Structure 1
Amino acid sequence: MEFLEEGQIVNSERYISTLRAVKLRRVRRDKDSILQHDNARPHTSRQTQDALRQLELTTLPHSAYSPDLAPSDYYLIPQLKKYLKGHH
């Protein structure tokens, strides 16, 4: 997990540096790296697309307004499971 200082934004350069760091920390080097991200500008810029090809990262398309779970939901679901435990 990486946090930005207050006032900083994620642009293509910042996103590419994060992709390179993730690529270096990949756990299973024998498997293809697959990345799923939305169509935000830093994700779709030409620089980012070139970096993805260079890093050999396969991307899965994901719409910007998908009804799927948002990353913020990952914290909520375990809490909800604890609350509902024992209720049928």
Structure 2
Amino acid sequence: MNGVILRWPVPIGTTINAQYNKKVLQDKLRPAIRKKRPGLLESGILFLHDNAPVHTARAVTDVLPVYKWELLEHPRYSPDLAPCDFHLFPEMKENLRGQRFETEEDIIQATKVAIKNLDKYSYVTAFKDWLQRIEKCANNGGCYVE
């Protein structure tokens, strides 16, 4: 709810698989949490992934308990329950609308600025919306219908 912890552009030509995802969790996300949210690693992490194979692979799910990160369940086939999909990406798109980019670096910098321009209230709203969507899904027998 306090904003983005890690913004990690995937290098061109990189295959996103379970091993890559595990490496990002270990080498990028964990240190970013330690730096940006001191004490959070010790107090416990609730971790939300969708059900994409790269997120549900054993290499990834086995490392989460090692770090004492609790994986929240995510209903199948419900991408509209991920705050990035229904909140962060649409807001970023709005900030980037109409711009043209010449290089990959231009895109990276523009997305960095777009993320920085999102205020804290925006994240609080996203998580309140997420809780309402999760509740709706639970009340609907595990199915989410918008």
TM normalised by structure 2 equals 0.46
CA RMSD of aligned residues (A): 2.3
SS at match of 2:62: helix
Structure 1 unaligned spans of 5+? 80-88
1:74 equivalent in structure 2: 91
2:17 equivalent in structure 1: 11
Structure whose residues are more often strand by fraction = 1
The runs of at least 4 consecutive aligned structure 1 residues that moved more than 4 Å come to 76-79
Structure whose residues are more often helix by fraction = 2
% same residue: 18
Matches within 5 A, 1:31-70: 31-63=43-75, 64-68=77-81, 69=83, 70=85
Whether the 8 Å contact between 2:50 and 2:79 is mirrored in structure 1 is: no
Instruction: Identify if the C-alpha distance between structure 1 residues 57 and 74 changes in structure 2 by more than 3 Å, giving closer, same or farther.
Output: farther
SS at match of 2:46: strand
27-36 or 61-70, larger mean C-alpha shift:
61-70
Write the letter of the residue equivalent to 2:16: V
Number of paired residues?
79
Deviation of 1:15 after TM superposition, in Å, equals 0.6
2:38 equivalent in structure 1: 28
